Structure 1
């Protein structure tokens, strides 16, 4: 009886070779910064790790970092180390474009400092400052920027006039604009003084210049507008004009949000679509 492996097509040897493609799960987790290999093995054994939505308890499982999805304690983990996620506190006067046809200052001032070709997720108009995400992850950009997915954005607006609680209530009850009715998901008055008011407003709409139009409609034109949060990611104390990579926690939250959206994925691409990068919401 031969003691060498059977290498015929369809044999057990061929199946084993197929199973051994990819990277061992605990090694991929360590490379992604989840934990050391030993600690990752313990997480796997405890049933806290999911691959493609299914609990995996075998640390020897091999996965493809490009195709497979990983979650630990139901928080998504990015396995593909070629992806980059950057937060920008966009200054006033910068156009949310990578090549402005009118020659105005644009996002290349910030994207050119990275080796990857980054695109903006959604858009802020030139007069609005605040949180903008830059990435080369086209799938995530598609989900987060498209208005049909309803990602919440929070803004702080300085407006003219002393806004009343009744006016704030109108924003959440809903008002009629020329392109249809709209209601804020949340709104609260922060301060009123010297003929101006500060209001925090949260909404998921992606309609053009929607915050400015809503506030003008209720009689309080915007003087200054800042986006403070985008989904679970918050601007914090990042100075105007500065960038930083998303933390592991922030990335996990935003990936979890994007994967939770029940929608067909866009065509495979490492770049956000033109529609995505031109979507606006303020």
Structure 2
């Protein structure tokens, strides 16, 4: 019993013969564990354990996990600036002998303008029907710039891809403008291609129907409406008769209006049913309400007015409100009319 009591009071010695450390709480290590803050060694090395102590997967240096120090922001900014300068540097221009030649092949431009397949356009060139800048072309493969070079087929200038030409049969009640601040129906409501600004060539009264041209070719639109070029417009007017035989002569000699004399280039009776007459009037003037004013001054107010032709372009059987793209031949005839 005495020996057992003596042994119970002794401190337990480990295998090394040294007394074991007490496990009582309140020590420094326990305080750091309880506070949740890493020990200085852990903050320093980023791992559990002291210097040289066992890491999470083994002891010694093999168990340590060091983190690379963060790069300063100034260094990252310098790298970003260097990369941007490298990519923004203009590319070196190669000699033309090694790069693509300027312009497009002539037959390709003709085919895109709607003159047929490339093979058909090559035949046009072989037949000496194509001229560029006033010179007839007979050899294949010639390169042209459709924006700068003047290209004609059978004497008519072709329309390049960058220009648009439309013919609209304007209904009655539509305002002759691309936009209307009052919200009324206007020409812009009939144009589907809103990416390109179009001009209306001349005007028609709100109640006048018929042919009106739309294009983004500013010079052509200007010449078609300028009095200097005298482009003829043709109208059909419904009036009440009977009409005298000399009405046509009076219109051609000139009708005195408030803003001066107005003369017709052509007049004829198209249809007559009782007192209802349908007459055709052609003139090259473009003053406001000119046809209505001339016939009203002659004693025959107009009941209905339709423009059926603008220069070489005819309305034909195009339905009211329909918009159609003009053919290359029509565009060529328009340009030829005004010297383009």
TM interval, short-chain normalised: 0.7 to 0.9
Q: 1:267 is matched with which residue?
A: none
Within a 5 Å distance, the mapping from 1:100-249 to structure 2 comes to 100-112=180-192, 115-249=195-329
Q: 2:13 is matched with which residue?
A: none
Contact 1:49/1:55, CA 8 A, preserved across alignment:
yes
Structure 2 distance, partners of 1:174, 1:59, is 54
- Structure 1 window deviating more from structure 2 (105-114 vs 149-158): it is 105-114
Taking structure 2 as the reference length, the TM-score comes to 0.67
Cα 1:89/1:98, change in 2 over 3 Å: same
Q: Does 1:42 align with 2:150?
A: no
- The count of corresponding residues between Structure 1 and Structure 2 is 247
Q: CA RMSD in A?
A: 2.4
The structure whose residues are more often strand, as a share, is 1
Structure 2 distance, partners of 1:132, 1:163, is 29
Structure 2 distance, partners of 1:57, 1:19, is 23
Runs of 4+ residues over 6 Å off in structure 1: 14-19
Contact 1:159/1:223, CA 8 A, preserved across alignment:
yes
Within a 5 Å distance, the mapping from 1:18-29 to structure 2 comes to 20-29=101-110
Q: 1:5 is matched with which residue?
A: none
Q: Does 1:71 align with 2:152?
A: yes
Unaligned runs of 5+ residues in structure 2 are: 1-94
Offset of residue 114 of structure 1: 5.1
Cα 1:67/1:166, change in 2 over 3 Å: same
Contact 1:163/1:192, CA 8 A, preserved across alignment:
no
Greater C-alpha Rg: 2
Unaligned runs of 5+ residues in structure 1 are: 1-13, 262-282
Taking structure 1 as the reference length, the TM-score comes to 0.80
Contact 1:131/1:228, CA 8 A, preserved across alignment:
yes
Cα 1:254/1:17, change in 2 over 3 Å: farther
Structure 2 distance, partners of 1:91, 1:44, is 42
Structure 2 distance, partners of 1:17, 1:205, is 56
Larger relative CO (CA 8 A, sep 6+): 1 or 2? 1
